[in-house]
Amino acid sequence: MLFSEKILSVEPSITLELNAKAIELSKKGYDIVKLTAGEPDFSTPTEIIEAAYEAMKNGKTKYTDSKGIIELREKIVEYVEKRTNLKYGTDEVVVTNGGKQSLYNILLAMINPGDEIMVLDPSWVSYEAQIKMVGGVPVHVPLDEEEGFLPTESKLNRYYSPKTKAILINSPNNPTGVVYPKETLEIIANFAKDKEIFVISDEVYELLIYEGNHISIATIEDMKERTIIVNAFSKTWAMTGWRIGYCLGPKKLMKQIAKIQSHSTSNVNTPTQYAAIKAFDVDVYYMFKKFKDRRDYVASRLEKMNLKFLKPKGAFYYFINISEFGIEDSEFSKKLLDEAMLAVVPGSGFYKKGYIRISFATSDENLEKALDRLEKFVKNLR
């Protein structure tokens, strides 16, 4: 058999796949509107691009330390301290190829065959696949819209087993846009301390919050040593294609992660690391403001359509409840693409049936066109 069992147990990323399908149809001449990708429609700020170019011209084109260049790691710890008051050493950070690779390296460094990792559903598409790819067992904890898509103590306890090694959390959340309040983070923190497990905290949307503020679970008492934070430049600085992110956590784990990196990708490409240093000094409020306006616009349109949803407090997605239509979410999405030429992601891609996810990280014009199509489609279905 050519393929490994591990790789056969995993499906391709549904968001990337649907996006690719929509692009293919567009190329064939169909007027498709895509609300599939979780990717800012803005260009990377010019200052960041210039920093990469300057770095290349100055000979910064060689291998670097597997953990990332020291100047960038210094910037990261400075930034994290300013935001959270937590002091990390530069040997407690590893710069990776996007937040995605941080997650993969963390899981690879932590998991033994059969170890369980709790993921809270709806959950981002790659968590389950990555856990399986390193030989772990994803344990899906179903969260309910009625409970604000937040975990409760009893639910966490119900899905815990002695094999549980860590819980993976994501706030602000993709796909729901939920931002975990302090009380929820305390429930998770107490659970982790009580069971002596780790928390992997995916905070890639931490700067995209429209209501409330971001609290990292690592700031809760005695949590820093059992939390691994994942962050990235992709969403906030419109740098998805540059592939750069980072993780922070206990030094001994970071050492193992650097080892994985040294044997896999060696380091994040060097000019990108220099560009990322610049990113911290670039004001991206104009993008944030646009996302905020679009979020309000989408809410007003969905309300007019009488659709059921929780208004997102962060990130750039709406997770819309379509259970009233009595058709599977994958069928709903397929019909929407075929009949209304609108591409969205079915909730089952996030392990939650009965929903669709739309991204509002797209131009105002696209968004208006997409919502006009959705409105017409929904009217016809009712």
Q: How far is the CB of 250 from ligand PLP (least distance, A)?
A: 21
Q: How far is the CB of 127 from ligand PLP (least distance, A)?
A: 8
| Residue type (1 letter), 62 | K
Nearer to ligand PLP, 234 or 267 (CB): 234
- In Å, what is the CA distance from 290 to each residue of 17, 237, 286, 365? 27, 13, 6, 13
Residues with Cβ within 8 Å of residue 275, at least 6 apart in sequence: 48, 49, 51, 52, 55, 239, 242, 244
Calpha distance 332→335 (Å, rounded): 5
Residue with tokens 């820093």: 224
Residue least distant from ligand PLP (Cβ): 98
Nearer to ligand PLP, 88 or 242 (CB): 242
Q: How far is the CB of 204 from ligand PLP (least distance, A)?
A: 5
Residues that bind ligand PLP (CB under 6 A): 38, 98-100, 124, 170, 174, 202, 204, 232, 234, 240, 245
Nearer to ligand PLP, 261 or 373 (CB): 261
Of 128, 192, 203, give the one whose Cα is nearest residue 164.
192
Calpha distance 106→257 (Å, rounded): 6
Nearer to ligand PLP, 298 or 378 (CB): 298
Nearer to ligand PLP, 96 or 373 (CB): 96
Question: What is the enclosing helix (H) or strand (E) of 35?
Answer: none
| Spacing of C-alpha 222 from chain mean position | 25
Residues with Cβ within 8 Å of residue 174, at least 6 apart in sequence: 38, 124, 205, 315, 317
40 Ramachandran zone, left/alpha/beta (phi>0; psi -120 to 50): beta
Q: How far is the CB of 170 from ligand PLP (least distance, A)?
A: 5
Q: How far is the CB of 245 from ligand PLP (least distance, A)?
A: 4
Q: How far is the CB of 208 from ligand PLP (least distance, A)?
A: 11
Nearer to ligand PLP, 66 or 174 (CB): 174
| Spacing of C-alpha 327 from chain mean position | 27
